[in-house]
Structure formats: C-alpha cells, structure tokens
Amino acid sequence: MLLKRLGIFFLDILEVIVSAIAIFLFVYLLLVQPHKIKGASMEPNFHNGEFLLTDKLSYRLHEPKRGDVIVFEAPDANGEEFIKRIIGLPGEKISINDGFYYINGQRLSETYIPQTIKTFPNLFLKTGQELYIPQNSYFVSGDNRQASSDSRAWGFITKDKITGRAWLIYWPPKSSGFVQKVSYAT
C-alpha cells in the first residue's frame, strides 16, 4: 500500500514538472523571451546589463512601426541578436543630412535622444546619400548614435530576422517598466 502511494506521489510530481516545462517552452518559444542589453548603443534609454522581455507575438499580428525597439539577428554576427530602434520603414527613402535622419525628404524629430548622428566615411548610408528601403526591410539605429553599429554601417534588416519587440524591462528593479512608445513628427 505504501509503495502504491509513493508511486502515485512521484507520478503527480512528474506530471507537474512536465506541465511546467511545457508551459515554459510554449511561452518562451511563442510569446516572450528574455534578452540582456549588451553595450552602450541604446543609451540613454536602455543601459548595459538591463534585462528585458521581448514580445514575439505582435509582429505576427501587425507590421513593425517606426520607433519600435526591436530584437533581431544581426547581419554577419553569427546568430547574435542586437537591440535597435526602427527608423525607416519599407518603401520609404532615408538619408542623413546635417546630423539628422530624413524620411522622404522630411527631417525626423527624435526627442528621445540628445545628440545628432555621427557620420562615418565609407558606410552603407553616407551623408547626403538617399536610399530606398526595399519591401520587407527596415532601417534600424541605436539611440546612442556615437556608439552604435547599426543600419548606417551594415544596411537594412529583413522582417524574418526580427525576433520581436522590446516590451518590458524587468532588471534591475529601479529601471523596470514597460518600454515607452515614441511618436514622431516628420
């Protein structure tokens, strides 16, 4: 009798463990995924060492928007994921002039960053050059333009490389909260 009760107890425990793993995998693979911010490329809005949750469901339901902070597989980075902000959308023309982004000839107002864009020679998008963003592609940039490897250097990213939208900062506690949406006036 004791052996039977012990067996039932262990089966119940195994059932709970298997259910917990199944729920975890469902959430991790389909809904949200944790990411760690590495480096200073998104300062002053996101800091090195912060942890955030990435919403993996949103872009299955609607298209990414300008201003969304996304996690994506970086070009030529052996599967490493970067965190950047979407600046240019499919079908738009983008340029850098006088240290600012221009979308379809209109200066993009970026109130969430304090500085202008640092320009580098021999990049993908050179100062004064206007590029058309192909369908299913996006132009992304770090908020800290002085310390960001982004679309200015290596070009557009395609939607299939996007893991998801940064949704919630959960560590450290003093920084925790939902990722703020931004609005633009072009």
Query: For residue 172, what pLDDT is reported?
Result: 87
Query: For residue 140, what pLDDT is reported?
Result: 95
What confidence tens digit (pLDDT) does each residue in 98-137 have?
888 999 999 998 888 876 666 665 578 888 889 999 999 9
Q: What is the set of active-site residues?
A: 41, 84
What confidence tens digit (pLDDT) does each residue in 125-171 have?
888 889 999 999 999 999 888 888 889 888 999 999 999 999 888 88
Boundaries of every domain in the chain: 33-178
Confidence of residue 30 (pLDDT cuts 50, 70, 90): low
What confidence tens digit (pLDDT) does each residue in 42-73 have?
888 889 999 998 898 888 888 999 999 999 99
Find the mean pLDDT for residues 71-95. Answer: 90
**Distance (Å, rounded) from C-alpha 124 to C-alpha 111?**
25
Confidence of residue 89 (pLDDT cuts 50, 70, 90): very high
Q: Which CATH number fits domain 33-178: 2.10.109.10, 3.40.30.10, 3.40.109.10, 3.40.600.10?
A: 2.10.109.10
Of 31 and 109, more confident: 109
Query: For residue 162, what pLDDT is reported?
Result: 92
Opening angle at CA 119, ends 116 and 123, nearest 5: 140
**Distance (Å, rounded) from C-alpha 92 to C-alpha 85?**
16
Q: Specify the range with the lowest mean pLDDT, choosing from 12-21, 125-134, 169-178.
A: 12-21
Query: For residue 71, what pLDDT is reported?
Result: 93
Half-sphere exposure of 109 (CA within 13 A, CB side): 6
3-state secondary structure the chain: CHHHHHHHHHHHHHHHHHHHHHHHHHHHHHHEEEEECCCCCCCCCCCCCCEEEEECCHHHHCCCCCCCEEEEECCCCCCCEEEEEEEECCCCEEEEECCEEEECCEECCCCCCCCCCCCCCCCCCCCCCEEECCCCEEEEECCCHHHCCCHHHHCCEEHHHEEEEEEEEEECHHHCEECCCCCCCC
Query: For residue 2, what pLDDT is reported?
Result: 67
User: Taking the model in full, what pTM does it have?
Assistant: 0.81
